[in-house]
Amino acid sequence: MNVDRMRMIDHRVGVPLCFLATFLVRLFGRSAPAGTPPRNVLFIELSEMGSTILADPAMKKAKALWNAELFFVIFADNRGSLDFLKTIPDGNIFTLRVDSLWHLGLDTLKFLLWCRRRKIDTAIDLELFSRFTALLTGLSGARLRAGYHRFHNEGLYRGEMLTHRVAYNPHIHIAKNFIALINALAAPKAEVPYSKSFIGDDEIRIEPVKIPPATRKAMADKIAALVPDFRPDAQRIVLFNPNASEMLPQRRWPAAHFAELARQMLARWPDIVILITGAPAERAEALALCEAVSDPRMVNFAGESRLDQLPALYGLAALMITNDSGPGHFASVTAMPVLSLFGPETPELYGPLGPGRALTAGLACSPCVSAANHRKTACKEPVCMSAIQPERVTDAAAEFLGPPQSF
């Protein structure tokens, strides 16, 4: 199901359903007093794979505060993103298929039964004003239901199904907004709005994963098999991620810019090897980029590693250069620095939590997407991305790669 169709259904069907569900929840729904400790906590985040990484500090805080059993519901295509930090046990994850409306409706009904069998008492809606997740939250049977509410702001109507209505703050990082949902549930008394709490930078750190030596060696061997005359003791790996999800294709830096960046970096650092990463479906695009540069030190690596193998790849690399997309967040589980290129979205809200920095052109029209417009922009020509020149990215890369090294 394409993104625009999902947005259309969420609006045309979601609004009346949220209106009706509000009355059902008020008539038959249960609630618990403020300060009631959660026991079985469900997190709802469906469509953004990177957000599962950004939500990890919130999930770990819930576990630490209440020693709660954690559960998660996510679209089936994004299931693999939960394997990076393994905060949620495999048996506590429910997936929804979106290949057809029939499957989505059937899985939704199964989900509502699943919630009751798992005795879910707390539902936390991590999505920004999606009506579908509001319905999942309100009808989950949970007595505690936390999520973002528009209050007096004009914006996306989601009904009145939350017991803990949190004020979404577009001026702080999304990971802190997720923590605010946990703080709302921990508040000793009712607040309007939740959450009146301070959230420090130390609360949104991502714990690094441990990469087994055998896994690391297997990834190194795979790279060596694809890169001619690769010398891991003398050469450094730089990853390019030129892709971005179909949710917001305007986030993509032009392919011609990536090609020029590769030429500049290969000339400046004779000891680097560039791997183009991506999913199997993106292999043709990566191949075209390699052919445009035509250098043996630039290799098409798209489709060569599974999602759960990415930490091993990132652990071997010296730097990643990426659009604003999932891989930048996945890299937060390792020490590899990331240069993220932002345009339609702001790094103040969605910047990766690991080492590195974000680059933007700073145009007057940017950022143009937000929770208020369902992260949809009218822009057909993302100058905010093309205005970031390859020379600027090369200079920024020097902060992490250092001066040219002989090879």
**Per-residue pLDDT at 207:** 87
Question: In Å, what is the CA distance from 90 to each residue of 80, 83, 98, 358, 401?
Answer: 11, 9, 20, 33, 38
Instruction: Say which range, 208-212, 318-322, 367-371, has the weakest mean pLDDT.
Output: 367-371
Higher pLDDT, 242 or 372: 242
pLDDT of residue 265: 97
Say whether pLDDT at 233 is over 90: no
Which residue shows structure tokens 């690399």? 317
pLDDT exceeds 80 at position 354: yes
Residue 219: pLDDT band (50, 70, 90) is very high
Cβ-in-10-Å burial (0-12, 13-18, 19+) of 113 comes to exposed
Three-state SS at 312? helix
Return the higher-pLDDT residue of 363 and 245.
Answer: 363
User: What is the share, in percent, of the chain residues with pLDDT greater than 70?
Assistant: 97
Query: Do residues 87 and 64 touch, judged by C-beta distance below 8 A?
Result: no
Rg (CA), the chain: 22
Helix (DSSP H) and strand (DSSP E) numbers for the chain: 15, 12
> Mean pLDDT over residues 187-209, rounded?
92
Lookup: tokens for 29: 């729904």
Mean pLDDT calculated for residue range 190-215: 92
Which tens digits make up the pLDDT trace of 160-183?
Answer: 999 999 999 999 999 999 999 999
Domains, the chain, with CATH or none: 3-204 (3.40.50.2000), 213-401 (3.40.50.2000)
**pLDDT score for 13:** 85
d(CA 326, CA 329): 5
Q: Name the band, by pLDDT with cuts 50, 70 and 90, for residue 299.
A: very high
Tens of pLDDT, residues 388-400: 999 999 999 999 9
Residue 74, pLDDT > 90, answer yes
Q: For the chain, what percentages of helix, strand and coil (3-state, to nearest 5) are there?
A: 45, 15, 40
Q: What is the model's pTM?
A: 0.91
For residue 272, is pLDDT > 90? Answer: yes
